Amino acid sequence: MLNKLFKSTPVIDDSSRAWILDSFVWCIENLDGQYFFQSSELILPNNQFYPGTMHSSLEMMTAIFNKTKNYAGLANWPLEIKQSQTVNNASMAQLVFRGSFRGQQCEIINKEAVDAIEVSLHPAQLNQPQDLIAYLVQTFAGIVLKQRGQTLPGGDNMLAEMIDLVACFMGFGVIFANTAYQFKGGCGSCNIRALNRQATLPEAETVYALAVYMVIKKQNIKTIKASLKPHLYKLLRKAYKDVESFLMATDNKNYALLAAK
């Protein structure tokens, strides 16, 4: 009875944990696992990753765009800024890859023959830089999934959640956890809803996905304490322990890839 009384509440339910772990396995297998293990790093919202000041909003937007694109492993992809108050829903050319899917070794055979993939941005988004970065990564993740074109864990009805999961897989879990719930008020000129990140993966699940990334990459959670919202850090510690213990105890062979490195 006492064991039940003092038993800790799980961070997320078993089905959500299974989906997150299955999704990480899928990402490793389909979104360049070699790049993930060798080059991906946990991106933090600080001057180490986004240093410097610019003379104009366009320069600042361009700098944030290029750094985020590079951190996502998409430096060689034909992605360009489009200054707009509306999201570009135009059809996207299908890229043809040779070799790596991401990173400096990525080669896109038809890069010169296709139109650039435009990403809509507006200077007002600079008012919330962390939310801007999250919006960019969410957009990039959607593009990546569309280009890969494989069946997703949970099916196509989980696309929105999978986009957020891919963002965490790319190394932006801290930023996504911090922006899972953001105030979207303000006047029309400083808050353009179409260009805000619309979180679809709940906060607890996002923190859990961050924990999975950190366990796989063997990163100490203390290194991100200053960058994560205080109320999320306690949740992360709990999630990290849960991921570690689960992967050590499970006999699910599909998860061996998550603990192999």
What gap in Å lies between CA 53 and CA 60, rounded to an integer?
7
Q: Kindly report the backbone phi and psi dihedral angles of residue 80, in degrees, each rounded to the nearest multiple of 5, phi listed first.
A: -135, 155
Please tell me the pTM assigned to this model.
0.90
Does 1 map to a domain?
no
123 in Cβ contact with 131 (< 8 Å): no
In a domain, 2, yes or no: no
In a domain, 127, yes or no: yes
The 3 state secondary structure assigned to 81-119 is EEECCCCCCCCCCCCCEEEECCCCCEEECCHHHCCCEEE
pLDDT score for 1? 46
Q: What is the percentage of the chain residues whose pLDDT exceeds 90?
A: 66
Number of domains composing the chain: 1
Domain assignment of residue 7, yes or no: no
Would you state the pLDDT for residue 91? 67
Query: Would strands 97-99 and 106-108 be described as parallel, antiparallel, or unpaired?
Result: antiparallel
The angle subtended at Cα 50 by Cα 47 and Cα 53, nearest 5°, is 85
**Digit-coded pLDDT (tens) for 189-247:** 455 555 556 668 999 999 999 999 999 999 999 999 999 999 999 999 999 999 999 99
Q: Is 6 among the domain residues?
A: no
Q: What tens digit of pLDDT does each residue of 100-131 get? A: 999 999 999 999 899 999 998 888 888 888 99
For residue 102, the enclosing domain spans 12-258
Q: Is residue 108 part of a domain?
A: yes
